Every structure is written in structure tokens, then in C-alpha cells.
């Protein structure tokens, strides 16, 4: 009986410790603030035509491939089977090995002829800075400033008419800044990396397209 009571007490203490650790990590995590910009094409009709997802571009050495995977997954939720991957089209069509992020009208019309598709989606990620690192300790130096920052840009082209129909960007930023006050409880905090901010930003920006779409597939 005494052994059972001791075991129950140990189990309870372990649960308390686990809860406190989880609470610490939640309270001490610094997550990015995301801001969104639509230069044009905030509201699009995704219900018609075929849409090509070009290979994404980024300067991230960690999540470059994951950026494309993220874009494909979330645009697929909007477009379904109408979303085509550029590498799949290259298997039986003569398409340039690389397609620029910014396209001229002549390049768009040429892609229309070679792909027999209606729209092209370009996604580009940019790691702006990773100065705050992953773990930081509060500083009492008011001049101290560091940040983890990334952005994602999306351009969508109408290949039939040779025009840009949507230009958007999301910027994600975590700031680590010194305080004017004496901070004796210097508890370390965990900051989201700029590479992760890039992926999350891409997902959030594509979700904006989904939310703002004029018509949805099957509607």
C-alpha cells in the first residue's frame, strides 16, 4: 500500500514537472509577426483553367526544397487536380530548364505555347537575417537589437494574355531587443528561425489566397 502511494506521488510530481516544462517553453517562445502585402490580385478566380507551379527559389540552405513542398501542398488545396507541376510537364514537352521569377510578355506567351496551360505560379523565399539565433537571453543593454527575418513573394501570371495578375508578399520577423530596465530574471527564450518563418509565411500567404478566392473548385 505504501509503495503504491509513493509511486502515485512520483507520477504526480512527474506530471507537474512535465506541465511546468511545457508551460515554460510556451511562455518563452518568440514567434514571428507576419505582415502581408498585395500589390495586385488579392482576389482571384481559381475555378477555371490549368495552373502550373514553377520550382520555387530561395536562399535558404535548410528549407529550400521544403518551400516548394509547402507551396505545392497548399495550392493543391485550392486548385486540386488543376495544379500541374513544371517537372511533370517537362517529361513530354519542350520547356526551358529554368523559368525566371519575373517574366516578360514574350516569355509568358512562349510558355503558353509550350505548356498548353493557362496560368503560372512563381514562389520565391528570402532569408533576410538570422541574427537573433535560436536561443537568446534577455539583455539589459538598451542598444542591443537582433532579429530573425524572412519573406516570401508570389507572382501569378495569366499566360493567355501575357499579364501579371497577382503580386503578393509576406514578411515574418522575430525581434530580440534589449531593455532599459534591470532584468534580474534573465530567463532564456526560444526564437523561431528565419528559415522556419519562411515556410510558415508561405503557408499563411497561400491561405490568404484561399480565403480571398472569388470562386472555389467545385462551387
The confidence score (pLDDT) of residue 23 equals 42
* Residue 22 reports pLDDT greater than 70: no
The confidence score (pLDDT) of residue 25 equals 46
* Residue 24 reports pLDDT greater than 80: no
8 compared with 158, residue with greater pLDDT = 158
The confidence score (pLDDT) of residue 12 equals 45
**DSSP characters for the chain?**
-HHHHHHHHHHHHHHHHHHHHHHHHHHTEE--EEEEEEEE-SS-B-SSS-EEEPPPEES-SSSHHHHHHHHHHHHHHHHGGGEEEHHHHTTTS---S---SS--HHHHHHHHHHH--SEEEEEEEEEEEETT-SEE---S-TT-EEEEEEEEEEEEEETTTTEEEEEEEEEEEEEEE--SS-------EEE--HHHHHHHHHHHHHHHHHHH-SB-TT-
CATH for 40-132+152-172+193-212 (3.40.50, 3.30.70, 3.30.410, 3.40.1280):
3.40.50
Average pLDDT, the chain: 84
Distance CA 75, CA 82 (A): 10
Q: What's the average model confidence in pLDDT over 46-56? A: 96
For 185-199, the pLDDT digits (tens) are 556 667 789 999 999
Domain spans of the chain, in order of start: 40-132+152-172+193-212
The confidence score (pLDDT) of residue 29 equals 74
For the record, the C-alpha cell of 32 comes out as 514571428
* Residue 62 reports pLDDT greater than 50: yes
Amino acid at each position: 500500500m505504501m509503495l503504491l502511494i509513493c509511486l502515485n506521488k512520483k507520477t504526480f510530481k512527474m506530471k507537474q514537472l512535465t506541465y511546468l516544462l511545457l508551460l515554460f517553453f510556451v511562455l518563452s517562445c518568440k514567434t514571428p509577426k507576419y505582415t502581408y502585402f498585395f500589390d495586385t490580385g488579392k482576389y482571384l478566380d481559381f475555378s477555371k483553367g490549368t495552373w502550373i507551379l514553377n520550382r520555387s527559389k530561395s536562399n535558404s540552405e535548410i528549407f529550400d526544397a521544403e518551400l516548394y513542398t509547402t507551396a505545392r501542398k497548399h495550392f493543391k488545396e485550392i486548385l486540386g487536380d488543376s495544379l500541374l507541376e513544371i517537372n511533370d510537364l517537362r517529361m513530354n514537352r519542350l520547356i526551358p530548364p529554368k523559368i525566371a521569377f519575373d517574366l516578360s510578355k514574350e516569355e509568358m506567351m512562349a510558355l503558353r505555347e509550350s505548356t498548353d496551360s493557362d496560368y503560372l505560379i512563381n514562389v520565391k523565399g528570402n532569408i533576410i537575417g538570422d541574427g537573433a539565433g535560436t536561443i537568446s537571453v534577455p539583455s539589459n543593454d538598451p542598444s542591443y537589437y537582433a532579429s530573425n527575418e524572412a519573406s516570401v513573394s508570389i507572382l501569378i501570371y495569366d499566360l493567355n494574355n501575357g499579364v501579371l495578375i497577382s503580386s503578393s508578399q509576406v514578411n515574418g520577423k522575430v525581434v530580440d531587443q534589449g531593455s532599459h530596465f534591470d532584468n534580474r530574471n534573465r530567463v532564456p527564450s526560444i526564437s523561431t528561425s528565419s528559415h522556419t518563418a519562411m515556410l510558415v509565411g508561405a503557408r499563411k500567404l497561400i491561405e490568404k489566397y484561399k480565403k480571398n478566392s472569388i470562386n472555389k473548385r467545385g462551387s
